Amino acid sequence: MLDLKFVRENPEIVKQNMRNKFQDHKLGLVDEVIALDAENRRIISEANDLRAEKNRLSKQIGMLMAQKKIEEANETKQKVAESAKRLAELEALEPEYEEKIKKIMMTIPNIIDPSVPIGKDDSENVEVQRYGEPVTPDFEVPYHADIFESFDGIDLDAARRVAGNGFYYLMGDIARLHSAVISYARDFMIDRGFTYCIPPFMIRSDVVTGVMSFAEMDAMMYKIEGEDLYLIGTSEHSMIGKFIDTINPEESLPYTLTSYSPCFRKEKGAHGIEERGVYRIHQFEKQEMIVVCRPEESPMWFDKLWQNTVDLFRSLDIPVRTLECCSGDLADLKVKSIDVEAWSPRQQKYFEVGSCSNLGDAQARRLKIRVNSKEKGKYFAHTLNNTVVAPPRMLIAFCENNLCADGSINIPVALRPYMGGKEKIVPKK
């Protein structure tokens, strides 16, 4: 969420940012919120004047009564009563205007970084760099569900009977591989200086609206009926929420945390949920990283975060590339975002396995995450997040890139301690 003062003083910058994000339908909101803000400030000013006048007249009444000037005192009382009536009207209007302003401000997109390429959607994202040589084996790579099934490693039929499409049972070596990847990612991030955390898997509505846009919330979040609780779509939500309404000493920054959680997503608007596969699903597990830092440090942390994911995937012999997300592909709260994509030998193309985002002070402003500086006073922190790994989607890339012609899967050296020392796993059929 932007600073209202910034919007008031820079309306054309805010409008041009909307055009850059291809959100011309929102242009009228800028003038609307500025008009509402002007009226709200007028109401507050009048209310403050009336309060001051009321205090002055109340003192005057006491003096007139002491001087036995009863008639003048009664006339003054009448003025106080009239002022009180008008003040009550204004006080009722203040929260009404503040709510209208807040609702609009929550839908005005954050100012994107000047380096972000302008484009309408993800088809116009820009490749930045490739890491590792994409390999095309001289044998056919099966569909990932078929690979898993060859190990008796997945049961989608049972999951469908229990929960419907978009769910799965992972079994045996594939389930162990899933857990091994999560554990390896945890230790990988701890070794890079991040503090490990297991957060709440449900959050309140004020945290939800603090960490994401309304459009994202509608498309992703599962609501717990009868309670002010939502299942998290990513642990970033509860990890950033950890700092809600806090004032943090500047010298304690940055906070660098890595978290494990299950994730739950409606996937509303997606092109269906695959019946055979785990690429787009309602439930998965993820290792995440978040940073809360000073504004001047967020560009540096942004580069460190996506590099962590690249390094982890390369340590597991998976070629990856980075993509700069264009303006139209950025969610409203994001300043800048880079996707990490893994190579799929079967599809002969890259696919998304993680996303790194710098949100500036947007989340901090909504959640009141402040920093106390001896030199600068109080200001809003910057927040960033990035996927470490998100199996089972990550397992698709892992199994395809480490698959052998005989159907076995090589276990990279880095992962072997988490797989009981195994150098490979062998299919059962």
Tens of pLDDT along 211-227?
988 778 878 899 999 99
* Between residues 56 and 101, the one the model is more confident about: 101
Mean pLDDT of the chain: 93
Q: What is the pLDDT of residues 58-88, one digit of tens each?
A: 777 777 777 878 888 777 788 878 888 888 9
Provide the terminal-to-terminal Cα distance of the chain, rounded to the nearest Å: 54
CATH number of 122-425: 3.30.930.10
Rounded to a whole number, what is the largest CA-CA distance in the chain?
A: 108
Q: How far apart are CA 123 and CA 125, in angstroms?
A: 6
In whole angstroms, give the CA distance from residue 42 to residue 105.
Answer: 19
From the number of C-beta atoms within 10 Å of its C-beta (0-12, 13-18, 19+), residue 201 rates as middle
Which of 329, 184, 206, 201 has the alpha carbon at shortest distance from 261? Answer: 201
What pLDDT is recorded for position 279? Answer: 87
Cβ-contact 237, 211 below 8 angstroms: yes
Instruction: List where CATH 3.30.930.10 sits in the chain.
Output: 122-425
Cβ-Cβ contacts under 8 Å for 69 (sequence gap 6 or more):
none
pTM of the predicted model over 0.85: yes
- Region of poorest pLDDT, from 82-86, 130-134, 386-390: 82-86
Give the Cα separation of 315 and 317 in Å (integer): 6
- What CATH fold (topology level) applies to the domain 4-105? Helix Hairpins (1.10.287)
Q: How far apart are CA 422 and CA 219, in angstroms?
A: 41
User: Is the link from the previous residue into 134 a cis peptide, with omega within 30 of 0?
Assistant: no
Which residue intervals of the chain bear CATH 1.10.287.40?
Answer: 4-105
Given this model, what pLDDT does residue 64 score? Answer: 74
Assess contact for 319 and 130: CB atoms under 8 A: yes
* Average pLDDT of the residues in 391-417: 96
Share of the chain above pLDDT 90, in %: 83
